Amino acid sequence: MQNESSRTSVYTLLVGSVVVIAAMTWLWGWALPLVLFLVIAMVMGHEFGHFITAKRAGMEVTDFFVGFGPVLWSTTRGETRYGIRALLLGGYVKVPGMTWYDKIEPDDEKRTYRSASYPRKVLFASAGSLMHVVMALLLAYGALVFVGHADAQRVSIDGFTHWQGHAQTAGQLAGLRIGDEIVSIDGHRVNGMAILDATIHANAGHEISLTVRRAGRDVVLRATPIDGRRVLVNGKPEVSGPQPVGLLGIQLTNPTVRSGYLAAIPASVTMVARTVDQAAHALVHVFSPGEFANLLHQVVTPSAAKSTTSQTTRPVSIVGVVRLADQAAQSNLQVFLYILITLNVFVGVMNMLPMLPLDGGYVAVATYERIRQRGRRGAPYHADINKLTPIVVAFVGVLAVLFAFTLYLDIVYPITNPFN
């Protein structure tokens, strides 16, 4: 009877999931359900890190759930109850003895978190963030090998500007084509857009030499930039000012290159390490008093919230992240994958902040107990977490304010789609 009820619950859950996904796809397109699925998978990857390390360390795991709130479906395998709850806002793994105040039966005490050795406590608490790093590395490797990345040291032609009154731009007259990679200009190797722009801008009315790579061959072309003050685009001069500025009417891009299977290994590590550094600096900025004052100003001042500067620099809530990922998935796979990499890294780094209830808080408490235990010549020391309650409440309050500000801004003043 119980098995039949369990099967019925599974069928109901599957049918309900299909209906919800179909409705979301019909209303908002295929990208949003995909993004939400990946975010949930990321959260469960975090929890799986805790789960597997607890199991390997011999700890008892009583619950492994997706979501919070009322139980939609559950099943027990061995000593662990697995299931799905109604509010898919995260997940959790329950291990007895996370504090010294939990009442545990004497026979079960040896398999609690608090009875584990210091290294196992640290590994268990850090495993969620480590899983985020692993997921970021896998995403980075896949992006480099199968999708590619924009090479900032290479420049190619992506299109041409429409000049009013001109059948062709100076670049087209010189014989440039879409897809040409500009190798050198006036004998100087092009290793980025800066040298290219500077040389073209400084030679209005003067002939320059361009070497482009086309279909595997180098082709030498000669072009004469036109003074941008004499060129109209949408009824206005493309350049204004007292000094001439040379233009070829070309649109530039960094070509996409793919890494080899072996070369992508160190490249993905470098990418994730750089993202970790950026996330750490971003966290310092986000929790600064100045940033909170800036967010408050945007909340109470609509014009500030709508400004381009604010929208490109402000932190975003999970709603904003999902929206940006949804927009990127529909237009730019490279950016979409980088958003997922950044999200994994940011969540992993933030979770290691040495504050309860974050994972880093448990590492900090375990480390403090270890230090005090050594000072007592090995005698057990149990930290009184209750003394940290005011600090924990203050920290959670700060998180709540930050969440409220960013969520309000992302709902009322959403960031303009940067991919249009």
pLDDT along the chain (420 residues), means of 10: 56 72 79 87 93 94 90 88 85 88 86 92 96 97 92 91 90 94 93 91 94 93 92 85 91 90 95 95 91 91 85 87 88 89 95 93 92 73 84 93 93 85
Say which residue the tokens 């941008």 belong to: 228
3-state class of 34 per DSSP? helix
CB distance 41 to 82 below 8 Å: no
Write down the pLDDT at residue 60. 94
Write down the pLDDT at residue 372. 84
Write down the pLDDT at residue 4. 54
**Domains in the chain with CATH codes:** 1-56+61-92 (no CATH), 95-148+260-420 (no CATH), 156-257 (2.30.42.10)
Write down the pLDDT at residue 7. 60
Pairing of strands 232-233, 208-214: unpaired
Write down the pLDDT at residue 67. 86
Tell me the sheet residues that pair with 218.
Answer: 213
∠ CA 224-227-229, rounded to 5°: 160
DSSP state of 114: T
Using CA atoms, how far residue 153 sits from 118, 178, 183, 193, 255, in Å, is 47, 18, 10, 8, 9
Output Rg (C-alpha) for the chain, integer angstroms: 28
Write down the pLDDT at residue 281. 93
Q: What is the dihedral of CA 85, 87, 92, 95, to 10 degrees?
A: -50
Pairing of strands 208-214, 181-185: antiparallel
Q: How far is CA 164 from the centre of its chain?
A: 41
3-state class of 418 per DSSP? coil
Write down the pLDDT at residue 168. 92
3-state class of 210 per DSSP? strand
